[in-house]
Homo-oligomer: A and B are copies of this chain.
Amino acid sequence: MNIGHASKRSGVSTKMIRYYEQTGLIPKAARQDSGYRDYDDADVHRLRFIRRARDLGFTVGQIGALLELWSDRSRASADVKSFALDHIAQLKEKIAEIEAMVRTLETLADHCHGDDRPECPIIEGLADGNGTFSTPGQREPRHFGQPGEHPARRRSDAARRATHQ
């Protein structure tokens, strides 16, 4: 089976399949006479596993561990469970972080008239950090976003100008 077919059947892009092979997450694929990579059902199965794990927010490093747990018939289900619970806790932390942002922004926005006058507590809050900011203590790694995901959305003129300049 060619890589394209394996890609369609697994939902993992060909780019990613090659990348996973290159980084050692999956073993080197067999090759056809032509030099094309050759996949079988077991490979597709593993790729689907990977895609589902990614959909659940696991990093590639974590997926490597999950693959090992998958293939290790002697490991206890408790090992898997604690791994999952760990990840759940991480995700919840992330949610809490973003919720804090939302709360702050909503507070600021609530106090903004949103009319044609220039006074704006939102900008002032950013500029002067007056009480409205319950400071998030530590400045931790940012990327709460799913990488590669840059949703095209409607933006104000100012935003468009700034990003497309």
Contacts and interface: CB of A to CB of B under 8 A. Distances in A.
Interface of A: 11, 24, 27, 40, 42-43, 45-46, 48-49, 51-57, 59, 61-62, 64-71, 73-88, 90-95, 97-99, 101-102, 104-106, 108-109, 112-120, 122-123, 125-127, 129, 131-133, 135-136, 139, 142, 144-151, 153-156, 158-159, 161-163, 165
Given A27-B149, A65-B162, A70-B123, 17 more contacts: A24-B165, A45-B145, A49-B147, A52-B131, A55-B132, A57-B101, A61-B162, A62-B163, A70-B127, A71-B150, A77-B115, A77-B117, A77-B118, A81-B114, A88-B105, A94-B98, A94-B145
A147 B122 CA distance: 24
Q: How many copies does the complex hold?
A: 2
A123 B162 contact: no
8 contacts: A27-B148, A61-B165, A65-B163, A70-B147, A75-B118, A77-B118, A82-B114, A84-B112
Contact of A86 (B92, B135, B154): B154
